[in-house]
Amino acid sequence: MREERPRSDQGVYTISVAAALVGLPAATLRQYEEKGLVEPARTEGRTRLYSDEDIARLRRIAELSAQGVNMVGIGRILALQEENARLRRSARAAGDDPAPPKDTPP
Report whether pLDDT(102) > 60: yes
Report whether pLDDT(105) > 70: no
Q: Is 32 within 8 Å of 25 (Cβ atoms)?
A: no
Report whether pLDDT(78) > 80: yes
Q: Is 61 within 8 Å of 31 (Cβ atoms)?
A: no
pLDDT band at 18 (very low <50, low <70, confident <90, very high): very high
**Beta 41-42 vs 48-49: how paired, if at all?**
antiparallel
**CATH topology for the 15-93 domain:** Multidrug-efflux Transporter Regulator; Chain: A; Domain 2 (1.10.1660)
Flag the least confident range among 22-26, 50-54, 99-103: 99-103
The string of pLDDT tens digits covering residues 40-70 is 999 999 999 999 999 999 999 999 999 999 9
What's the confidence (pLDDT) of residue 98? Answer: 58
What's the confidence (pLDDT) of residue 56? Answer: 96
More confident residue, 104 or 27: 27
